[in-house]
Amino acid sequence: MSVTDLSSLVRRADVCAAAVADCFSGDGEILANPIGTIPMIGGRLARATWEPDLMMTDGEAGLIANPQASVPADQRVTETHNPYRRMFDVVWSGRRHVMMGATQVDRFGNQNIAGLGGAPERPRTQLLGFRGAPGNTINDTTSYWVPSHGPRVFVEAVDIVTGIGYDRAGALGDDGGRFHEIRRVVSNLAVLDFETPNHSMRLRSVHPGVTVDEVVEATGFSLVIPAEVAVTRVPSAAELKLLDDIIDPAGTRFREVPDNS
């Protein structure tokens, strides 16, 4: 009953934003690089609360200090010039935690954003490409954001591995995989992590109003389910005020994750 009670008090997008913010906990003075609407809002929330030293992008060629998730170009407070080429210096130095999207993700955190079906050299559905996923995952902490948790995203095996998961990193040995960490997957239903003996994906918490069964049903492989599954924390009053008044006053987060999702 307490779950139901909570769900009537908080909005799902706010829970997701706080869950994203928690992914960056302890990161200190690195580039927090959440990609997507709620990731960007959650990253800004982390910086506005417990991780004040994080650096964040404007989505172009600058790292900016503004607290808002979306800032018009003429209002940006730029800390440093960070053009695309410079980003590799940051990524390859290990000073970044990226939160990417995933068209597919499997139990070990392998990600696919390149193509679906067919053969690797001729996919049935061509997607974006490998982009920076191999380099991100081999060099830095990575998390994923899935705005629509379903069995076609959380799959038994991804069609092609763009971002590498724990099994692939482990096969590289202690040296090759030593900078690899998939910290969390945050979805519209739950928070998942890899804090299990073989790094198989675990249900870390369900969002208020979501049942464990719903998450299990929406996942295309067997999750590790702890005996007691926590409920994702509700943002504090101070966090909600930051989200509403400063970080995302336009409420873009509610469009990405509606309350009935």
Residue 254 touching other proteins (CB under 8 A): no
Q: For residue 182, what are the β-bridge partners?
A: 142
- φ and ψ of 239, to 5 deg: -65, -45
Closest CA to 184 of 168, 198, 203, 164: 203
For other proteins, the binding residues in 57-76 under the rule CB under 8 A are 59-62
Give the residue, chosen from 74, 121, 213, 228, that forms a contact with other proteins under the rule CB under 8 A: 121
Considering only 116-124, 188-196, 205-213, 236-244, which stretch makes contact with other proteins by CB under 8 A?
Answer: 116-124
Least distance CB 155 / other proteins (angstroms): 14
Sign of CA dihedral 113, 116, 120, 124: negative
Angle at 27 between CA 26 and CA 30, to 5 degrees: 160
Residue 81 or 227 having the CB closest to other proteins: 81
- x/- mask, other proteins, residues 157-196, rule CB under 8 A, reads ---xxxxx---xx-xx-xxxxxx-----------------
Residue 251 touching other proteins (CB under 8 A): no
Task: Fill in the amino acid letter for 177.
Answer: G
Least distance CB 28 / other proteins (angstroms): 22
Residue 221 touching other proteins (CB under 8 A): no
Residue 5 touching other proteins (CB under 8 A): no
Burial class (CB in 10 A: 0-12, 13-18, 19+), 11: buried
Considering only 45-53, 137-145, 209-217, 220-228, which stretch makes contact with other proteins by CB under 8 A?
Answer: 137-145
Residue 82 or 205 having the CB closest to other proteins: 82
Binding residue count for other proteins, defined by CB under 8 A: 50
d(C-alpha 186, C-alpha 193), whole Å: 9
First to last CA, the chain: 20
Residue 135 or 226 having the CB closest to other proteins: 135
For other proteins, the binding residues in 11-40 under the rule CB under 8 A are 36-37, 40
Task: Spell out a b/e string for 251-261, using b for 16 or more CB atoms within 10 Å of the CB, else e.
Answer: eebbebbeeeb
Extract the tokens encoding 33.
């690089």
Closest CA to 258 of 4, 10, 1, 13: 13
Instruction: Give the interface with other proteins as residue ranges (CB under 8 A).
Output: 36-37, 40, 59-62, 81, 83-85, 88, 91-92, 114, 118, 120-135, 137-139, 160-164, 168-169, 171-172, 174-179
